[in-house]
Every structure is written in C-alpha cells, then in structure tokens.
Structure 1
Amino acid sequence: MSYIEDRYQDFLKVIQDKFDEERLQRIEKAFRFANAAHDGIKRKSGEPYIIHPIAVAKIIAKDIGLGATSICAALLHDVVEDTEYSVADIENMFGEKVAKIVDGLTKLSGDFDSRQALTLKKMLMTLSDDVRVILIKIADRLHNMQTLDSMMPHKKIKIAGETLFLYVPLAHRLGLYAIKNELEELSFKYKHPEEYNQIIYLLHNQEEKRNYLVNEFIKPINEKLNIENIECSVSHRLKSTYSIWQKMKKKGVSFNEIYDLLAIRIVIKAKPNISEKRQCFDVLSIVTDIYKPKPDRIRDWITMPKVNGYESLHVTVMGPQGKWVEVQIRTERMDEIAERGFAAHYRYKDISTYENELETWIERIRDHLQNPESDAFEFLDDFKLNLYSTEINIFTPKGDMITLPQGSTIIDFAYDIHTDLGNKCIGAKINLKLVPVSHVLQNGDQVEILTSENQTPKLEWLKFTTTAKARAKIKDAFKLEKKEHIERGKEIVEEAIKNANAPLTSNNLKKIIAHFNLNNKEQLYSEVGMGFLEMEGVDEILGKKSENKLVKYWNITFSRKKKDEPENAEKDTQKTGKSIDRKKPFILKEGQDNVKYSLAKCCNPIPGEKVIGYISSDEHIIIHKTGCKEVEKFLSSQGERIITAEWTKFKRQSYLTRLRLDGFDRVGIVNEVTNVISKEHNINMRSVKFDTNEGIFEGDLFLYIHNTDDLNNLISRLTRIKGIDTVSRVEKLYD
C-alpha cells in the first residue's frame, strides 16, 4: 500500500499548485474510489493496477495540461470495464461530465476482428461532444507503451503496430507533438528492435561531433540576438530514430546521407504590443544573414497555421562544415501549443478559431459515424485517409478557404462543398484554365467547379479520390441491393474458376479470398459484383500453372493434395490450421505438409526477411514483411489475427525478386552484370532491362532468389562493378 501511496503523492506534487482545495478534494475522492475498486488486481508486470490510472492522470495533467474533470476521469477510466461498478454509479458520485468521458473511454466487447475499429468509432462519436475523451485515450495508450516490456512478443508487435496506425496520427492531428514523438519511438523500438538499436548506436557514436557542431552553429546566432536585445532561448533537438528510419526507407539512403538530423529551436519571449509574427520574422532575418537558406525549405506556419493549430517558422540553412541544419522559430505561446496541442489553446484568445477547425475535421467523418450500414473496416480505412495527411488550402471563386488532404482532386473539392456538386461535377477551372475531374490540386489553387445536369458519379472516380467524404458519397451512389452485388459477383467468380479448368471447391475459393486479402466469400462476391475487383489470373492464383515460374502474383501453397487423396481432403488442413499456437512463432519450412500459407503480393517477402503472419478467416496464413503498410492496417483492426513468424533455411524454392540498378554507362557493363548474376552466383534471370540517357543508365532486373543471404551477397557483388552507383531491391514487382 505504501508503494501506491508514494506514487499518488508524486502525482499530487505535479498538480497541487494548479488547483484550489475543492478540485483537489474531487481528485482525492476519485483516487480513493478507483483504488478501492481495483484493490487486489494486478497488471501483467505484477504491480498493482491502480498505478496505471495514476500514471495516465499524471500525463493528462503534466504533458497535456487538462483540468480536474479530466484528471478524475483518467483515474476512473478503467473502473466500469474492469469492476462491477457501472457508468450510472460514476455519474451519481462524480457527476455527468466525468461519467460521459468514462463511458466514451470504456472499451466495447465483441469479436477480436473488429474490436479496435468499433472502439475507435465510439471514441470519435464521443469526440464530437467532448475532445477530452480522445486526449485521455492517447494518454492511456502512452502509458501502456511505456510499460510494454511485460507483454508477450506477439502482443508487443500488435500493440506497437496499432499505435503507429491510429494513435500516432490522432496525436498528430490534435497537435500533441511531444506525445506523438514518444509514441513513435516506443512503437519503433518494439516493432523493429534491431533497426532501432542500430540507429541509437549510430547516434551515440556521433554525439561528441554533433555537440561541437551545435555549439559552433548557435554561437553567432546568440551573439546577434543579444546585440538586438531579443530575449529568447536557443536549444537543439535530434531527429527521432523513427523519423530517421522512415527517411532512410523512403529515400533509399544510408544513415550518413540524412542531412537534417539536427534541428535548432529558437523560442522567443514575445514583447507586448508588437505582433508575434513580426518578431519571428525579425529572428528569421538574423539567422539567414548569418547562414544561407535552402530556397525550397522555408515554411511559414504562422501566416497560415496547420489545421491542428501548429504555428512556427521553419528554415533549413547551410551551417558549419557544410551541414544542412533546420531552424525552428516560434514564441513561447506557439511552443506550448506545439507541445500540448488542443489543451494549450484554452490559455489563449484564439481557441474559438481552433475549435472551428476541429469541428470542420469532425464534420468530415460525421457522415461515417452516423451511417448504421458503415462497415467498421471500411470506416477505419476511409478515416485513416484523412487522419495523417498533410493539408493544402484551396480557395473558392468567392475567396472562401477550404482545407483538404494533400493529393486531393477536383472531385474531392466538389464533394467537400456539397454532395450534389460532386455528383454533377464534369471538371473545373483553375486560373481560367480548364482541368479534368482527376486533376490533383496544389496548395493555394482557386477553383471554380463546373457541373452538368446529365453527369452522374462514375466508379473510376474511386481510383483518384482521397477524402473519406468523397469516397463514401461515390460508393453510396453505386449501392444497389447488397444481394444483387453478391449474386452478380458469385456468377463472375464461378465462371472465372471454370475458365481456369479448376473445380468449384471451397478450397479454391479460399485461395482466391486469401490472394486478395479478404475475410470471407461474401466479401469477395460483393467486391467483384460492385466492380472493385477484377477476376484476372485465376489459373495462376489456383496454382494451375505451378510448373511455370513466371507467375504474375507469387503465391505459394504447401497443402497440395497427394494424388490418392479424395477431393474433400481439405478438412484435414483446416483442422491443422486451427491448432496453430498463436503465442509461438509460426515456423515457415520448405516443403511443409498440412499447413497452408501464402506470401503476400503487396510486399513479396523472401526467406530470411523479418516477417509476420496474418490468419485469415479460414485459418489460411498470409505472410507479410514486418514493415508492410497492409499489415499495419491489420494490426490496428484485427490484431488478434496476427502471429509472429520465422523462416527455416530455404534452398530449393526460389522467389521472383526485383532489383533496380543505376550508374554511369560504359561499354560491356550489361554483360558484366549478367555474368555476375548467372555465372558467379548461379541465379536464374526472368528479365533484364537497361535504359541509357546521356551517359546515365537505369537497370530493372527480375531474378529468382532463394533467400536474403543470396540476395545480399549478390547486391554486395553488383555494387563493386565499376560504374554502378546504387543497387536496391524494389518490393513492388509490378508498377
């Protein structure tokens, strides 16, 4: 008990100067009640359960800056779910506001498949009434991530993936940058431990050199600021390990090639009666007088703040030793908003503006929330589209500004204004120039939508729409009776199987369902019937051309029936599938009998790469690479279907792999490349294509590789060929 009391007293030290006696007594009452309700219950780590609500309340008070009502709700947030008390009991003791927040935080019971999607949906419905629900939920997730060590390995991967997929973008959207960064770091640490440790090691190695560079960079800035009598603090921060890793992956560069590892932050103590914007630009002028800026790397989020309220000036300048350094310039008010997000706005006069922006965002998803037919997973996908994307500002002919996700098209803009405008849209005028409905909008465009009474929504619009609202409206226009879709889809699928000279067995259906990463045959029929899926290459999917290595989608199934087995032998396979121990890694063996799995076409893993398994509804296991975007979606919505997986040695089976080469052209280089591949490494080639332009060449190679060791050895050897600059693997087999 003294341990619990000590933790509670530590928490009180954080809040006791912020609240009056009456509020402190309410918080005390909430703690005593929660402590009694959770008495005797322990967390996975072995510590008393009440330690978790105390920690969440501390994050809410210290890092987000919410008030007594939120702190009480944080202390009580698991009482209804984990004890015999009801929401009505909470309301009787602590009032309607606290009870409503606790109710919004209480998880839903239901299938493993959709629990997370439905929980998010419920949170967002409550969010439209009270944003504190989602702020406490984010704090709850942060503490769970901080204490993830005690969980089983497959649970760590599930929770980390879910955090990256949903909670990091939510924290970003609400402007909680400090919490967002910590959630990213912790997720990265548990989802990709080797890469995380490698980057930590590399950062540690350069620490002394980095500190010297920072001091050398800051010194002349500080001197000039003192002369100008500008009161401010100058500090530095490192790019997070997760951001470094993301950039290495996205740009295909090494750790040493990342130029913006450092950011210098100048926080101004604003002088009264002078605009904050002007004071920030004065400091920008001082910095760019000392160091030359990179022209395309000046960002002004003060004149036009981000949708989540973030305000700052960013400029990348050439610092000492030829290193690019990012400088962030903001006032103390802006800095607090950047760290605490939504809650910090309550301290300042512009809260109404920010609430309007937040309301606009909530309005975008309200149609989905109120639609009883909205599928939980479809909702999750569409909601995610609008959650984390960079925003652009588009203007109407009258000068009204509309904020949309980057990549939005004319159709997205039209539907954002009004459904009828979207349905009848035939194009638009931008700066008096006619553009088609698929035209991608640029920040600052002024758009006039053109309509026709004869126009109706088109299915192909779904290929280039970005916003959830537009996609939902287009789908609604094509929603005939579900039964009609399924019947039509069933006919198309069955016809495709017959044309592939394959029997109409449930096993063949399951192969097609697994190939498209769907959940069941109804979903397959519906998607095909609505025209969202094309039944192409069915003979290849069903393995009817298994003798031919040149398959479009590399799909391997280790459950082929022996010649003397009856047609219904698949039942044995299903039985084996259901006996999978989800707590242990699924072992991938070459020539494995009685266990069915396939390699995901979205990321094309090969033996030796870090992989993860997704158990589909028929116990078929689809193997993905751990960093695959598709599997991140499953981690958040169907985390209980995820299992860890490990390869054994694969020597006989080979896998189609794509390599990209570039370098300087010279006579004989193609011949040398093909010799290294086929003669030195004994690797079969499917195709080799080289394009040369003004002395620079690009090569596209399709090879059959046994495992990552063979691949890495080949890449290492190819990079030693004179003239070759880079060799990289391309995950996507087909553009």
Structure 2
Amino acid sequence: MENKPEIDLEQERKEILNAFRSLLRVTKNNRTREETKQIRKAFDVAVEAHKDMRRKSGEPYIYHPIAVAKICAEEMELGPTAVIAALLHDTVEDTYITLDDIQELFGDTVMKVIDGLTKIPEVFDENVSIQAENFRKMILTISDDLRVVLIKLADRLHNMRTLESMRPDKQLKIASETNFLYAPLAHRLGLYTIKSELEDLCLMYMNPQGYNEVSSKLKSTHAVRQRFIRRFTHPIKEALQNEGYVFDIKARTKSISSIWRKMKSKKVPFEEVFDLFAIRIILDTPEELEKPDCWRVYSIVTDFYQPNPDRLRDWISTPRANGYESLHTTVMSPQGKWVEVQIRSVRMDQIAEKGLAAHYNYKESKNGENKFDRWISEIRELIGNHSEDAMDFVNEFKLNLFNDEIYVFTPQGELRVLPTGATTLDFAFDIHTDIGLKCIGAKVNKRLVPLSHQLKSGNQVEIITSSKQKPNEEWLKFAITGRAKQKIKAALNEERNRIAEDGKEILDRKFKQHNIRFISENISILEKYYNVSTATDLYIRIAKGKVDLTKLRSIKNVAGVLKIEKEVKPKKLKSSSEIQKRIDKKKDTLVIGDDFKDVDYDFAKCCNPLPGDSVFGFITVSNGIKIHRTDCPNAENLMGKMNYRCITARWKDQAVKQHIANLKLVGIDDVGIVNKITEIISFQHNVNMRSISFESIDGIFEGKIQVYVMDKYHLDELIEKFEMTEGIQRVERWDDVSKEKDEDYISE
C-alpha cells in the first residue's frame, strides 16, 4: 500500500511525457531542429515550475499548458513561438519563474507574449473588476503581438472544456464571462470552430436544460438528416464530376448554441428551425480561378434547385472584415425545405475554419488591403487612451466585435466596411476624425439625412461639414462604433476640461475675495455643500452660472478653511463598497429568507425569481443586493462584466410567502379563450391573479399575466395546465429588463 503513490507518480510521469509527445507530433511539419530544442526546453521548465501544483480535478497542472499548446498548434495552426509561450503561459503568474528568467532563456518575443498573458495582481481598488483589467491588458498587447490573444483564447477554451471540476457558482461566472467577451473575440478573429465550441460549452453551464433539449433532438434526428443530405447532394456531385471539378462536399450542422438562439429569437420549437445544417462545396482550384469557378458551381446548384434571391450572399467579391470569403445561397429542396449551400475554395475554407493564422499564411498571395490589418489599426486607435476606465474599455472594445457588416461607398466609389446599424456619424469618423468632429449631416444616395440616419449596404454617402460644428452628448446616442464613441468622448472631455478651467478661475477669484484658501479640503466641502460628485463637475457648474457663489459668505470660515456643521445620520448598509467589505464572496452564501449580515437584499424586478429557481446575488451600487435568476436576461452581462460583485445565493428550505410570476401565453384567438385561462387560474390551489392583458393580431393572441405563486414548482403546475388547454400553443415566463434601474448596475 505504501508504494502506491510512487507507482502513481511514475505512471503520471509517463502520461505527461505521452501528452508532450502528442504535442510534438502535431507540430512536426512546422519546426526546425533549433525550434524543437526550444519547445523541449520550455516543456522542461514548465514541468519543473508546476511540479507541486494540481488542478481542481486532481490531475497534475502541467496537463493544462500542454493542452493549451496543442490547441494553438493543432486547432489554430500557430507556429513554434506560440507553442513555447503556451507551455510557459502560467509560469510567471503562478510560480517562482520571473519575466527576466523567460527573457534570458527564450528571448524577447516569448517574454513579451508571456507578459501580455500574465494576469494583473489583485491589488487594485476593490471596486475595479479584475477581469476587466486582465482583458484590457491582454488587448493592449494586440498591437505588439496577436499571438497573446490567440493563446489566451486557447487557454480559455481548455478551461471551458475542463469546467466540470469547478464549483457551480464559478462555472456560471466563467461561462458568462466567456460568452460576453471571449466567444465574440474568437468570432472577430475568424475562429468559427472555436467560437462555436465556446458558445456551446457556455450554454451547457448557463442553461443545461436548453443545451440538453437541443443536443438530444439533434441526435434523434441524425439519421433522417443524413438520408436527406445524401439525396440532396447526389445530383450536384454527378454534375460537378462531369464538369471535371476536384471538390469535397460536407454537411455542417449548426451549433447547439446557435440553434437555441434561433429558437429563442424566432420563438419557434426545434422542429421549426429550418437551417439546422448547411451544405458546403469546397473546390480545389487555383486562386486566379476561384471566383469564376465558385459562380459556375452556383449555376450548377441552381440548375437543380430554385434559389431564394433574397438569401444570396457574395463574400468572395467583398470579404467580411475578419477575412471570411464564401458564396452563400439558400435553395428549395424537392421536399419543400430551404437548404443553405456554401460554395468556396480550399483556401477560403481554411481561412473560415482556422481564422487569423491561416489568413496570414495566405495574405501575401492576394492583392489589396488586408482586412485584419485594418481591424488591428482600429484596435490601436481604440486603445490609444491608456488611462481609460477598464469597464469603459471592455464595453467600447465589445462594440468592435461586430457580428454583421454593411458595405457603403464614398462619393469617389471607395468601399468602407461598417457594423450593421452604423449611422452617418460613424461613417464620418471612419473617414477621418476631423470630418467626424465637424460633421453636421450627410447626403445618402444624393438625399439629405441627419447624423442619426442608419446606413444600409450599397449606400453612397457624402458627409457635410461645418467649421462651427462641435460634438455634444447626444452624439454618443447616434454613434455605435468604438472608434466614433472614443473620439466623441475625447472631444467632450477636452471641452469639459476647458470649461472647468474657466470655472476654477472664477472660484479662485471668489475665494480670494472672502479670504478662503484654495485647498482640496475646501473644495471637498463645496462638493458636498452644492451636492456634486467631483471637483470638475463643481467647476463646470460654476462656469455655467449654475452655482450661487454668494452663499460662500454664510459658510463658517476659520483661518481660510471652510467648516460646515451638519447632522450625521446613521447609514443603512446599502452601498457596494460597504457590502463588499462585509462579505467574503468565496465563502459566504446568501440564504434567502434569513437575515444576511445587516445587508439589504431584494428580488430583481427584471426576472422575478421564485423559490426553486437557480439564483445569484448581485451587489448594486446603492440598493443593497438584488437576487436574479441565473437565466435572467441580465445575468450574462452581470456575471460576465462584473462577476466580482456577484455572490452565491440559495433559498431557505421553507417557502414563506407568495411571489409574483410573469407568464406570456401565445395561441389561436378563439371565442372564450380568455374565459378558459381565468378559469384555470381560479381553480388552481393558492394561485391569485394580479393583472391580465391580451392582444390579438390576425387571429393570433398574445396574453401577459401576472400571478401570485408560492414557488417555481407551483408555477410549473400552472404552466402545465395552460399547455394542455386547446388553442394555447406556447407558454413561457417573460422578463421585463426595463424594470431594473441602470444606475444600480454600473461599474463604480
């Protein structure tokens, strides 16, 4: 028995070596002898540094860096430098190894990548989101070395793949943050395979019921789908072979998360999602023949099947901003089903699957501006203001992770790519900052439009400027691109600072008149006296004449120092900073129904949690803790952006009172349907109705009901009764996101 740990350790050493050999196998075609030595050295350093560390699952920690390196090499096709950095990515943060050691052993490039990957120590003000700072630091390195971001994505992917060993509250926080930041980032870098897997894993932890529902239905319909695909592709295959094309035809099933999203957004069951899969035709053809060959294949496909003219997407002539190129059409099959067909070359397919790395392998071979270079220059502009608040930065950066784009033209015919929803103001800033700042309107297709006008693909836009124009706060509502918002904010801050300087001079003169010293203590007293939050706000209000400085005479002045004697009232424990000092988020669990450390807590009105619902607590700015459902529409945002303010919560065993629940019912409008619904409620034990409203359009009704129930199980019984009623097609809980005050959820 005593020898067992020794045998286990020996076995572990063999398994670690096998994992490393597996990594070497996937990199064998992509390294020199010298690079192989460096990879082996990185492995040895990492094994030694992490030798006493284990993951939450109990396995040796070194498996994680090896897995991350393998993702970089195999799934992203990155080179030896990225593999070395991935093997070492946690050494500086978690072990005795320093950045100087890395520089000495592996050189400057690897050291810079590791520095970008190393998290910021948790020594910031308690109200700053550490995750936001980490993300900001990682993105700041994007202009130096994109491998930092790619390795970070590989790191996050492996963490998500091994998330089952974490506590449930940690799983939710990590999944929310991944869905909020890392999945959109993978999409923007063209890493579709990784993006889809990240989103699926997020759904698995954030909504296991939805994930399992789609997953099981995909499995049960697999055989039928395969038969349909074989019949559909057979005539296309024969025609392409007769034409002499070298090709491959694949069927790509939609990811679980995108099917679930479609079910929710379109409010349809699984069976009514028409684009469960796409047929992909991949041509092995020289680059100069790609475009004509893809259009020829399109012609062959549409010889057999009728295309939908509104669903043609030509991303070969105009690639997407992340480098994606493909020709998409949707055609009608003989069975009456719409089928999406994607036509592309082998080169385009590799770019679509592997994203950035493959794109750079090919970029020298094609003329024209590199789309990624353009995006990175936008990022550089966005990160130009290094002092920007971390949460602001994350929000602005997320704006740049566009999912969809529009293509608009300058009067000279130059093509510009903007996000869907972009306005004339965004277009003006995309041309040049000075044009944006002086913009007063635009002509779209020769017609005069305001700054807020939303552009559409194919618009030709001419910007009208005036030397007298200045940006104002309203502009931030019109602009949607990170670049435009950042430039407007910078201009507004400059203007605010200029006005504040004027106000400061006025206050200085008044202080001299009343023999008051211009010191920070006196300024702080005036901030409280005039009820403003900062000295800058005080100066601006003075400059604009909104502060009555004659009141300075009535404030007590002792040797040039102001004194205000005010009654101090005892404060209730509601503010974020006070609550965060009082609780330990790692250990404390808020038990709903019991008193919790003299802290105010209440139920969020946006999702109305019921006993039995999976919930968490969120520390608001000034209203104590709000209890939200984990599937609340706000949950991903709160746990992704501000998880440092989220705490674990659970219900006390006994339910003690009735709670409001919101239900939405959709069905066929029929005489007496409202009567049936109210009867069900009145006969259901202990259920009382608070409000009911119905709308009917073209024979379809939608009803919204508020009822008082004891808990989730009580509500489920009521839902089941409704679902069994003839004429009612769908019953679901609905959430009113607008019910929660925005100011309670901002970052402090």
Q: Check whether TM > 0.5.
A: yes
Range with greater deviation from structure 2 (254-263 or 711-720): 711-720
Query: 1:147 aligns to what?
Result: 162
The one-letter code of the counterpart of 1:645 is: A
Q: Please list, as runs of the form range in 1=range in 2, the aligned pairs for 1:596-607 lying within 5 A after superposition.
A: 596-607=600-611
Pair 1:652-2:664 in alignment? no
Is the counterpart of residue 129 in structure 1 residue 144 in structure 2? yes
Q: Which residue of 1 aligns with 2:194?
A: 179
Distance 1:444 1:702, change over 3 A: farther
> CA deviation digits over 1:186-234, x for unaligned, max 9?
2222222232222222222222222222222222222222222222111
Which residue, 610, 617, 622 being the options, matches 2:614?
Answer: 610
Residue 100 of structure 1 corresponds to: 112
Q: What is the DSSP-based 3-state SS (H/G/I as helix, E as strand, rest coil) of the residue aligned with 2:110?
A: helix
Secondary structure of the structure 1 residue equivalent to 2:634: helix
State the 1:304 CA deviation. Answer: 0.9
Which of 572, 591, 613 aligns to 1:587? It is: 591
Quick one: structure 1 residues 376 and 352, their matched pair in 2 at CA, closer, same or farther if it must change by over 3 Å? farther
- In the alignment, residue 64 of structure 2 is paired with which amino acid? H
2:333 pairs with 1:319 = yes
Partner of 1:300: 314
After TM superposition, the structure 1 = structure 2 runs for residues 718-729 of structure 1, keeping only pairs within 5 Å, are 718=722, 723-729=727-733
- Residue 645 of structure 2 is matched in structure 1 by 641
SS in 2 for 1:201: helix
1:256 corresponds to 2:243: no
Change (3 A) 1:453 1:332: same
**Contact 1:236 1:264 (8 Å CA) reproduced:** yes
Matches within 5 A, 1:77-92: 77-92=89-104
1:669-688 aligned within 5 A: 669-677=673-681, 687-688=691-692
For residues 653 and 235 of structure 1, the distance between their equivalents in structure 2, rounded to whole angstroms, comes to 54
The 8 Å contact of residues 351 and 359 in structure 2, kept in 1 or not, is answered as yes
**Shift in Å, 1:64:** 1.1
Which residue of the other structure, out of 445, 449, 457, is the alignment partner of 1:443? 457
Q: Which among 43, 53, 66 is matched to residue 41 of structure 1?
A: 53
Partner AA of 1:371 in structure 2? N
Displacement of 1:417: 2.3
2:668 corresponds in structure 1 to 663
Aligned length: 662
User: Which of 55, 65, 70 matches 1:53?
Assistant: 65
1:289 lines up with 2:294 in the alignment: no
1:344-423 mapped onto 2 (5 Å cutoff): 344-350=358-364, 356-423=370-437
The amino acid of 1:623's aligned partner reads I
> Could you tell me how far apart the structure 1 residues matched to 2:571 and 2:149 are?
50
Q: Mean alpha-carbon deviation: is it higher for 381-390 or for 715-724? A: 715-724
How many angstroms does 1:450 deviate by? Answer: 2.0
Q: 1:123 to 1:150 in 2, by over 3 A?
A: same
Contact 1:154 1:642 in 2 (8 A): no
569-578 vs 642-651, which deviates more? 569-578
2:447 aligned with 1:433, yes or no? yes
Counterparts of 2:352 and 2:384, CA distance in 1: 32
Shift of 1:453: 3.7
Letter in 2 for 1:397: P
Q: CA deviation at 1:154?
A: 1.6
Mapped to 2, the partners of 1:163 and 1:570 lie a distance apart of 32
| Larger Rg belongs to | 2
SS in 1 for 2:17: helix
Partner residue in 2 for 1:7: 19
Unaligned runs of 5+ in 1: 488-520, 531-565
| Alpha-carbon distance between aligned partners in 1 of 2:80 and 2:104, rounded to the nearest angstrom | 17
Distance 1:567 1:699 in 2: 46
Distance, in Å, in 1 between the alignment partners of 2:394 and 2:317 is 33
- Cα offset for 1:259? 1.2
The alignment partner of 1:189 has SS state of helix
Tell me the alpha carbon deviations over residues 3-59 of structure 1, each in whole angstroms, 9 at most, x when there is no partner. Answer: 221211121122223323222122222222222222222222222222222111111
| Cα deviations by residue, 1:482-531 (Å, 9 ceiling, x for unpaired) | 9989x9xxxxxxxxxxxxxxxxxxxxxxxxxxxxxxxxx969x989x99x
Distance 2:143 2:575 in 1: 50
Distance in 2 separating the partners of 1:607 and 1:526: 45
The alpha-carbon deviation at position 447 of structure 1 amounts to 0.9
Per the alignment, residue 265 of structure 1 pairs with 280
Pairwise CA distance, 1:618:
7.2
2:342 alignment counterpart: 328
- CA contact under 8 A between 1:660 and 1:730: conserved in structure 2? no
Summarize the Cα distance change of 1:710–1:734 in structure 2 as closer, same or farther, 3 Å threshold.
Answer: farther
Question: TM-score of the superposition, structure 1-length normalised?
Answer: 0.82
1:164 maps onto 2:179 in alignment: yes
Please tell me the residue identity of whatever aligns with 1:663. Answer: I
SS state at 1:3 partner: helix
- Provide the residue aligned with 2:236 in structure 1: 221
Distance 2:245 2:410 in 1: 40
The CA distance in 2 between the partners of 1:571 and 1:183, in whole Å, is 36
Say what the alpha-carbon RMSD is for the aligned residues: 3.5
Residues 611-650 of structure 1 deviation map (CA, whole Å, 9 limit, x = unaligned): 3322346793222232345332333333343334334565
- Matched to 1:612, the amino acid is F
Partner of residue 16 from structure 1, selected from 28, 36, 61: 28
Partner of 2:212: 197
The residue identity in structure 1 corresponding to 2:638 is: F
Quote the offset at 1:601 in angstroms: 4.1
Cα displacement (A) at 1:333: 0.7
3-state SS in 1 of match to 2:637: helix
Distance 1:630 1:84, change over 3 A: same
Q: Could you tell me whether the CA contact under 8 Å between 1:345 and 1:354 is conserved in 2?
A: no
CA distance in 2, matches of 1:572, 1:81: 33
User: What's the CA shift for 1:335?
Assistant: 0.9
Letter of the 1:11 partner, please give it: L
Query: Do 2:663 and 2:733's aligned partners in 1 also have CA atoms closer than 8 Å?
Result: yes
Q: Which residue of 2 aligns with 1:242?
A: 257
Partner of 1:76: 88
Are 2:636 and 1:632 equivalent residues in the alignment? yes
Matched, 1:338 2:352: yes
Deviations 1:409-457 (A, max 9, x none): 1222222223333333222111111212111111121111223344332
Q: Which segment is superposed worse, 356-365 or 391-400?
A: 356-365
Contact 2:574 2:600 in 1 (8 A): no
**SS at the partner of 2:480?**
coil
- Measured at CA, do residues 23 and 255 of structure 1 come closer, stay the same or move farther in structure 2, by a change above 3 Å? same
CA shift in 2, pair 1:581/1:308, >3 Å = closer
The structural deviation recorded for 1:345 is 2.1
Letter in 1 for 2:231: E
Contact 2:117/2:148, CA 8 A, preserved across alignment? yes
1:96 and 1:355 mapped to 2: Cα distance?
29
Provide closer, same or farther for how the CA distance between residues 234 and 120 of structure 1 changes in structure 2, counting only shifts above 3 A. same
SS at match of 1:307: coil
- TM-score, normalisation: structure 2: 0.80
Local SS of the residue matching 1:622:
strand
Deviations 1:329-385, CA, capped at 9 Å, x for gaps: 211111111111111123324478787422332333334423243111111111112
How far apart in 2 are the matches of 1:329 and 1:601? 48
Give the letter for the 2:450 counterpart: P
Partner of 2:514: none
SS at match of 1:253: coil
Choose the corresponding residue for 2:735, options 725, 731, 734: 731
Q: 4+ runs of 1 displaced by more than 6 Å?
A: 351-355, 482-485, 571-577, 590-593
Q: Which amino acid aligns with 2:107?
A: G
1:388/1:642 Cα in 2 relative to 1: closer, same or farther (>3 Å)? farther
**What are the superposed Cα offsets for residues 377-408 of structure 1, whole Å, 9 maximum, x if unpaired?**
11111111221431212211122222221111
C-alpha distance in 2 between matches for 1:387 and 1:314: 22
Contact (CA 8 Å) 2:573, 2:599: kept in 1 or not?
no
